[in-house]
Structure formats: C-alpha cells, structure tokens
C-alpha cells in the first residue's frame, strides 16, 4: 500500500504539470511557487531550527492564526516556518511579522520529504487539522522530531481505518500528539488503540472572537436601522433563492458577498438582479440608494460587514461545501444555510440548539425572515449562536500547552524560551 501511495503522489504531481501546460492558473502558481523551494527556505532559516507549522490552505491558516500569535509570545527566540500546500492559501495570506516565514511545502515524495527535514531541522512540526503527508511523517519520526496535529477530525469512514491500510494507521499512532475537536473522536481513536490523543476543540472559535469592530459609517448609513440580511460567501444557489424571494422581503437591507468576487462573477450578479444592485466600491454619500442590493466586490471586508448585520445566509450549504458560519455567529447574527451540511459539526450542533436554520427554498427564506421579524425571536437566535462560540473557546491555550511540553528544553519563563 505504501507503493500505491507514492505512485498516487507522483501521479498527482504529473496531473498538476499537465494542468499547468493547459494554462490552469492555480496549477501554474502551484508549480512556480515550488521552484527552488528548498533553497529559498534554507536562505530564510539561516541555519536556525524553527517551529514548523503546516497549513493546507486558507481555511487551515485561519485556524492557525491564534496559535501563531501565542507561539510568537511564548517562544520569543524562535522563528516560525509556515508552509502551505495550496496556492489559494499561500497567495491570500499577507504576513507582517518578520519571524514568520511563508513557503510552499514540496510534494510529499520520499526524496522531497527527506531533503526538507534535513534542511529545516524543525524543533517541532505542527499540522492544522488532518493534512497527513506520510513521507514527511516517516522522516519526522526517523529523526525523532516531535509532531503535533490540532483540531483534528478522524472517523471510521476514512481510509486509514480500512483493511489493508495498517501502514498509515501505524504512522498516525506514532505521532507525538493528536489533538481532536471533540470527545466522540477521542473515544473512537482510543478504541482503535491510539494512545496519543487529547481533546482540544476547534481554534476557529478563538479566532472569530478576536475580530475587532471597525468603523463602517457608510455601511451603517446603507443599512439605516433596518434588519440586515447578508448572503455571505454566496454561491448561485443562495442567490437564486434570494431572487425568487425578493418581492416578499420588505424593508430589509440586503448585502451579497459572493465567495468569488471576480469581475466576471460580479457582472453575472448584476445581470441576475438587473438594475437593483449597487457595488460596495461605488458606495458613497452621493449615490446611497437604500432600495438597492449592495454587492461586495472586494476581499477582506465580509467579517466587518457581519458586525453590522442581523441574519447571515451562508453559501455552500447546497453542495456540502459550507463556508465559515462561526464568523457571523461570533458577531451576533442568526445563521442560515442550505440543507446539505452533514459533514460540518458546528452546523449540525447549531441546528440542534436552535442557533441556526436550514433553508431549502425561497419560501423557506421568506418564512424564516418573517419569523425573525419578532425582535424577541431574532435576539434569541442571535444569542444562542453567540453563546455557542463563546462556550467553545479555549482550544489555542490547550494546543500551546502541549507544544510547550513537547519542545525540548522549554521552560515556564517566556524569556528563556529556546
């Protein structure tokens, strides 16, 4: 099975090369970003032994952000090597901390993994979620380098627990620490004879509560004390439902923030809603038309808009690709999403405690907003969602404590950290 794994990894690399030749931009970024990657890393490290923190893409980086802040304080003499697998993460993360070096992770071939570990020689390797690269793990274990995964979700349906894949399962059991998101996963892994697991929770709860409120005067003037509905990271499914529901939605402010704010996508939105839209980039005192739908045509402002909205209809819920619902929950919104959300623990839990509502049609959307027109009902759903986030904070501190325990020679005094 190990041979099959390595064949699959090399085939994946060849597939990326083929896509690049055909002009795929993401594939081009993937390849170009890895060109002379080890040499670039070597130059940045300057023979130091960093904390290596790996995230797959942007979502995992968001999970790692609160941990990075804590590590920089806890280990003032250590740099952090932050690696990405996907261009969508690497290209969209802008760092302003000189002690954090951003690079791509080379493809997980045996030779790449061996050379990478030799060049980096990390004092510890920390991975977000479950980005298991088995050649890297083998080399880390050969070199006796402590390894930790955090906010991990493992279950019986995954490949590692099927017959014939024991070699992968045995590697997972040798990881220094696997910090999982809840007690159910911890119990399952212990039944599978894992002795290296602990519950830490999900660091995203810590990150979304770190958001600072910013002055958004022009947004507030557009909302104008109305109930505000945001389509956050929307796909076409949510937008089609909104269009059908529009005639029956009275006196509410509507903001659409598509998950892809490209010019082409914004143009298609304007056509779908005809002359009923206004782009955020054009929003000024002189053209402030409260009767129009506001379209967010830029990246990085959605979290700020959530701070002023009341109801968030989050995209991806009709394709089981649900976007971040914790961010609007943490900023006091009622959460709505499509019915295909089974693999998202936080969505399932919020529905159970009446902190979120499933939407299947335009009729559902109208009925739900009419239901939320009663201030007491609106505030009750908001409070439930916000309390859910507040009650699940604290994962970052647990992870930090485990890292401190694993890094050799660390002490309780921050000033003496290696």
* Residue 70, domain extent: 2-208+394-416
CA distance 418 to 414: 9
Pairing verdict, β 177-180 and 80-84: unpaired
Same domain, yes or no: 201 and 284: no
Same domain, yes or no: 168 and 279: no
Same domain, yes or no: 124 and 246: no
pLDDT at 96: 84
Instruction: Provide the domain count of the chain.
Output: 2
Query: Model pTM?
Result: 0.77
Tokens of 67: 């941990």
Pairing verdict, β 177-180 and 197-199: parallel
pLDDT at 289: 84
Backbone angles phi, psi at 179, to 5 degrees: -100, 115
Same domain, yes or no: 380 and 289: yes
Write out the chain's pLDDT in tens, 418 residues. Answer: 788 889 999 999 999 999 999 999 889 999 999 999 999 999 998 878 999 999 999 889 989 999 999 999 999 999 999 999 999 889 988 888 889 999 999 999 999 999 999 999 999 999 999 899 999 999 999 999 999 999 999 988 888 888 777 889 999 999 999 999 999 999 999 999 999 999 999 998 888 766 544 447 888 999 999 999 999 999 999 999 999 999 999 899 999 999 988 899 999 999 999 879 999 988 887 788 888 999 999 877 898 899 999 999 999 999 989 999 999 999 999 999 999 998 898 999 999 999 999 999 999 999 999 999 898 999 999 999 999 999 999 999 999 999 999 986 433 333 334 4
* Cβ partners under 8 Å of residue 351, min gap 6: 357, 358
Same domain, yes or no: 70 and 165: yes
Same domain, yes or no: 382 and 405: no
CA distance 122 to 118: 9
Same domain, yes or no: 157 and 240: no
CA distance 193 to 197: 10
Same domain, yes or no: 286 and 150: no
CA distance 82 to 186: 27
Q: What is the DSSP string of 203-265?
A: THHHHHTTPPP---HHHHHHHTTSEEEEEEEE-HHHHHHHHHHGGG--SEEEEEEES---HHH
Same domain, yes or no: 225 and 161: no
Tokens of 10: 């090399």
For the chain, the first-to-last Cα distance in angstroms comes to: 39
In this structure, what CATH number is given to the domain that contains residue 277? 3.40.50.2000
Same domain, yes or no: 15 and 91: yes
pLDDT at 140: 97
Same domain, yes or no: 170 and 224: no
CA distance 116 to 171: 19
In this structure, what CATH number is given to the domain that contains residue 75? 3.40.50.11720
Same domain, yes or no: 252 and 332: yes
Tokens of 113: 């993994």
């Amino acid at each position: 099975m190990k041979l099959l794994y390595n064949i699959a990894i090399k085939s994946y690399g060849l597939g990326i090369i083929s896509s690049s030749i055909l002009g795929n931009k993401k594939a081009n970024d993937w390849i170009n970003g890895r060109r002379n990657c080890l040499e670039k890393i070597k130059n940045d490290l300057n023979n130091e032994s960093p904390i290596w923190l790996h995230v797959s893409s942007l979502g995992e980086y968001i999970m790692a952000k609160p941990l990075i802040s804590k590590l920089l304080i806890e280990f003032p003499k250590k740099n952090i090597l932050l690696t990405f697998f996907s261009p969508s993460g690497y290209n969209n993360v802008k760092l302003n901390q000189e002690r954090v070096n951003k690079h791509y992770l080379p493809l997980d071939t045996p030779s790449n993994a061996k050379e990478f570990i030799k060049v980096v020689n990390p004092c510890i390797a920390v991975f977000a979620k479950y980005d298991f690269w088995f050649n890297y793990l083998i080399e880390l274990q050969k070199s006796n380098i402590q390894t930790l995964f955090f906010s991990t979700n493992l279950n019986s349906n995954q490949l590692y627990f099927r017959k014939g894949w024991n070699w992968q399962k045995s590697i997972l059991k040798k990881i220094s620490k696997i910090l999982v998101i809840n007690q159910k996963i911890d119990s399952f892994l212990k039944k599978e004879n894992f002795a290296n697991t602990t519950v830490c929770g999900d660091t995203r709860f810590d990150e979304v509560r770190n958001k600072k409120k910013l002055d958004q005067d022009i947004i507030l003037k557009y909302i104008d004390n109305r109930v505000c509905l945001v389509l956050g990271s929307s796909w076409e499914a949510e937008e089609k439902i909104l269009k059908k529901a529009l005639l029956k939605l009275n006196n509410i402010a509507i903001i659409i923030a598509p998950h892809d704010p490209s010019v082409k996508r914004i143009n298609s939105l304007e056509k779908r809603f005809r002359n009923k839209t206004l782009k955020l980039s054009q929003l000024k005192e002189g053209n402030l038309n409260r009767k129009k739908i506001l379209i967010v045509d830029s990246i990085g402002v959605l979290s700020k808009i959530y701070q002023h909205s009341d109801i968030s209809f989050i995209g991806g819920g009709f394709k089981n690709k649900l976007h971040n619902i914790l961010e609007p929950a943490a900023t006091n919104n009622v959460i709505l999403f499509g019915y295909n959300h089974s693999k998202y623990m936080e969505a399932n839990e919020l529905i159970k405690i009446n902190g979120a509502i499933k939407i299947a049609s335009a009729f559902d959307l109208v009925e739900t907003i009419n239901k939320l027109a009663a201030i007491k009902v609106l505030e009750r759903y908001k409070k439930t969602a916000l309390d859910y986030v507040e009650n699940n904070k604290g994962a970052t501190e647990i992870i930090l404590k485990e890292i401190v325990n694993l890094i050799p020679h660390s002490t309780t005094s921050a000033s003496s950290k290696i």
